[in-house]
Amino acid sequence: MASEEKVELKRGLRDVYIDRTKSSFIDGKVGKLLYRGINIDDLAQKSTFEETIYLLLYTELPTESQLKAFQAELIANRALPEDILSIIEIVKDSHPMDVLRTGVSALSAFDPETEDISTEATIRKGVRLTAQAPTIVAAHARIRKGKDPIAPSTSLNQAANFLYMLFGEEPDPRDARLIDKDFILHAEHGINASSFGARVTASTQADLHCAVTTGIGVLKGPAHGGAAEEVMKMALDIGDEDKAEDYVRNLLKDGGRVMGFGHRVYRATDPRAFHLKDDAKELGERKGQPKWFSILESVTKVMEPYTRRGICQNVDFFSGAIYYLLGIPDDLFISIFAMGRIPGWTVQVVEQFENNILLRPRLQYVGEMDVPYVPIEDR
Ligand code: CMC
Atom of ligand 1 nearest to the CA of 14: 29
Q: Give the domain CATH number at 139.
A: 1.10.580.10
Mapped onto helix, strand or coil, the DSSP state of residue 329 is coil
| Structure confidence at residue 2 (pLDDT) | 58
60 lies in the same domain as 92: yes
Whether residue 19 is contained in a domain is answered as no
* Binding site membership of 257 for ligand 1 (Cβ less than 6 Å): yes
Total residues found in the chain within this entry: 379
* Predicted pLDDT of residue 185: 97
In a domain, 3, yes or no: no
Quick check: 222 and 258 in contact, CB under 8 A? no
User: What is the residue-level pLDDT of the chain in tens, covering all 379 positions?
Assistant: 555 678 999 999 999 999 999 999 999 999 999 999 999 999 999 999 999 999 999 999 999 999 999 999 999 999 999 999 999 999 999 999 999 999 999 999 999 999 999 999 999 999 999 999 999 999 999 999 999 999 999 999 999 999 999 999 999 999 999 999 999 999 999 999 999 999 999 999 999 999 999 999 999 998 999 999 999 999 999 999 999 999 999 999 999 999 999 999 999 999 999 999 999 999 999 999 999 999 999 999 999 999 999 999 999 999 999 999 999 999 999 999 999 999 999 999 999 999 999 999 999 999 999 999 999 999 9
Does one domain contain both 55 and 177?
yes
Domain count, the chain: 2
Instruction: Tell me whether residue 188 is in a domain.
Output: yes
Ligand 1 atom closest to Cα of residue 262 = 37
**Alpha carbon nearest to ligand 1 atom 1, residue:** 257
For the annotated catalytic residues, the residue numbers are 224, 263, 316
Q: Which atom of ligand 1 is nearest to the CA of 317?
A: 44
Residue 192 belongs to what domain range?
Answer: 24-221+331-354
pTM: 0.95
CATH of the domain at 253: 1.10.230.10
C-beta 263 within 6 A of ligand 1: yes
32 bridge partner residues:
27
| Sheet containing 24-27, strands listed edge to edge, beginning at the edge strand earlier in sequence | 24-27, 32-35, 38-39
Quote the CA–CA distance of 293 and 200 in Å, as a whole number.
38
Whether ligand 1 lies within 6 angstroms of the CB of 13 is answered as no
Distances (CA, A) of 254 to 226, 244, 250, 257, 296: 21, 15, 6, 9, 20
Q: Are residues 125 and 159 in the same domain?
A: yes
Q: Give domain status of residue 6, yes or no.
A: no
- For residues 151 and 242, membership in a common domain is answered with no
**264 Cα: distance to centroid of ligand 1 (angstroms):** 7
What pLDDT does residue 299 have? 97
DSSP letters spanning 21-42: -SSEEEETTTTEEEETTEEHHH
Looking at the structure, tell me whether residues 78 and 199 fall in a common domain. Answer: yes
Is residue 62 a part of any domain in this protein? yes
Which residue's C-alpha comes closest to atom 34 of ligand 1? 263
Q: Does ligand 1 have an atom closer than 6 angstroms to the CB of 233?
A: no
Residues 120 and 147 in one domain: yes
Nearest CA to ligand 1 atom 40: 262
Atom of ligand 1 nearest to the CA of 194: 52
Is residue 87 classed exposed, middle or buried when 0-12, 13-18 and 19+ CB atoms within 10 A define those classes? buried
Q: What is the pLDDT of residue 316?
A: 92
Look at residue 8 in the predicted model and tell me its pLDDT: 93
- 250: Cβ contacts below 8 Å, ≥ 6 apart: none
Report the separation in Å between the CA atom of 257 and the middle of ligand 1, taken as the mean of its atom positions. Answer: 7
Q: Is the same domain home to 174 and 270?
A: no
Is 279 found in the same domain as 162?
no
Is residue 175 domain-shared with residue 64, that is, in the same domain?
A: yes
Ligand 1 pocket member 192 (CB < 6 A): yes
Going by the DSSP 8-state scheme, the letter that residue 313 receives in this structure is B
- Whether residue 336 sits in one domain with residue 191: yes
* Pair 165, 140: CB distance under 8 Å: no
Residue nearest to atom 48 of ligand 1 (CA): 314
34 and 116 housed in the same domain: yes
* 227 close to ligand 1 (CB < 6 Angstrom): yes
For residue 290, being part of any structural domain is answered with yes
Note whether residue 375 is domain-resident.
no
**Signed CA dihedral, 256, 314, 21, 207: sign only:** positive
- Give the per-residue pLDDT at 5: 72
DSSP string, 237-253: HH-SGGGHHHHHHHHHH
Instruction: Tell me the per-residue pLDDT of 96-150, one tens digit each, with 9 for 90 and over.
Output: 999 999 999 999 999 999 999 999 999 999 999 999 999 999 999 999 999 999 9
Residue 12 falls inside a structural domain:
no
Same domain? For 209 and 136 the reply is: yes
